[in-house]
Structures are given as C-alpha cells and as structure tokens.
Structure 1
Amino acid sequence: MVVNSTPKEVVELIKIRGFANTLEASIYLGKSIHYIRRLSRDKVLISYKPNGKCIYFKIEDLDDFLMSNKRLNRENITQKAAKYLFNSRR
C-alpha cells in the first residue's frame, strides 16, 4: 500500500512493476498529484487509461520526462556554436 510506504519503497515498487498510478508518479517525480494530472491532460507526460478511469504511467516515460530539456555545459555550447558558424559560412 502506497499510503503507509516511504518514498524509497514506492520508487522500488514502481521500478519492479514497471508502471505507476498518479499518486506513485507524483512521489517518483517529486511533484504534486494535480501537476501530474495536468501534465497528463496536456499530453506532456505520456499516460495510459485502460478502462477510462485510472491513469497509469510507464517508468520509462517518467524517466524520459525527468531527463528532458537537457542543459549543455559551456564546452558543449562552444562546440555547437563553432559547428554552426563553420556550416553557415558555406
């Protein structure tokens, strides 16, 4: 039962099962339940509704959401800028 579990236990349960409900996804991502529902409704976070009622999320989709919007370090930014300038001069 998620209610009496610690966040660490919930994360382990999600990893074993491979999917999470809304409450478990909110614990896994560290966001509120309302925010998770909004992300699902706005199609930002991929979700599944097998019977049209309960919302479920795959662990891979939650991980992809966490890793989205990558921020580059200065070295990578410099490399991309140099590559862009080199290609734009042609």
Structure 2
Amino acid sequence: MDEQILKEVQELKKLIFEQNILQKEVLNFNEAAVYLEVSHSHLYKLTSTGTIPAYKPNGKKLYFNRQELNTWLLSSRQASVSDIEEEVSQFKLKSGRA
C-alpha cells in the first residue's frame, strides 16, 4: 500500500514538473531534455554541433527558448505519400505530361 502511494506521488510530481515546463518561455538544460524527450548526452551533442538553438549567457549553463525548440522540432518535415503524389501531379501538369 505504501509503495503504491509513493509511486502515485512520484507520478504526480512528474506530471506537475512537465506541466510547469509548458508554462515557461525559457528552459534550462534538464527541462529542455524532458521537453524534447531526448537524453542529456544527445542534447549535449545537438548543442555542441550547433544543430539546436541554445543560449549560454554566463558561459556555463545552457538555456533554451521553448518557441525556438518548437520551430526546430518542426523544421524537418517528412513528406507524406499524398504530398509526394501531389508534387508529381504538379510536375506533370507543368511539364505537359498529363
């Protein structure tokens, strides 16, 4: 019984933490890793290669703008089958190969 209560309290703490992240404009490193659902090592790699936008105001700690993270997440859209079919149709129309 005590273990179940402890587990539920931990889950609630996790949910509150994640909800707080959604309210913040600027995220610290740990919050950004949770927000992006990536490991700390992967986030370090993304920042060190300049793949992801980050800020280092005092030269030590990394901070992230949540809106910039959203833009980055949505920047490499994969075309769906219907997108590709539409492009083929448009190409055929333009080249007169209908």
TM over 0.5: yes
Alignment of 1:25-44 (within 5 A): 25-44=32-51
What TM-score do the two structures reach when normalised by structure 2? 0.73
Following the alignment from structure 1 to structure 2, what is the Cα–Cα distance between the partners of residues 61 and 11?
A: 18
1:57 aligns to what SS in structure 2? strand
What TM-score do the two structures reach when normalised by structure 1? 0.78
- Which of 19, 26, 31 pairs up with 1:24? 31
- Aligned-residue identity in percent: 24
Instruction: String of CA shifts for 1:46-79, please: whole Å, max 9, x gaps.
Output: 0001111100001112212322321222221111
Q: Could you tell me which runs of 5 or more consecutive residues in structure 1 were left unpaired when the two chains were aligned.
A: none
Of Structure 1 and Structure 2, which has the larger fraction of its residues in helix?
2
Equivalent in the alignment of 1:46: 53
Asked if 1:82 is matched to 2:89, the reply is yes
Alignment RMSD, CA only?
Answer: 1.9
Deviation at 1:85, TM superposition (A): 3.6
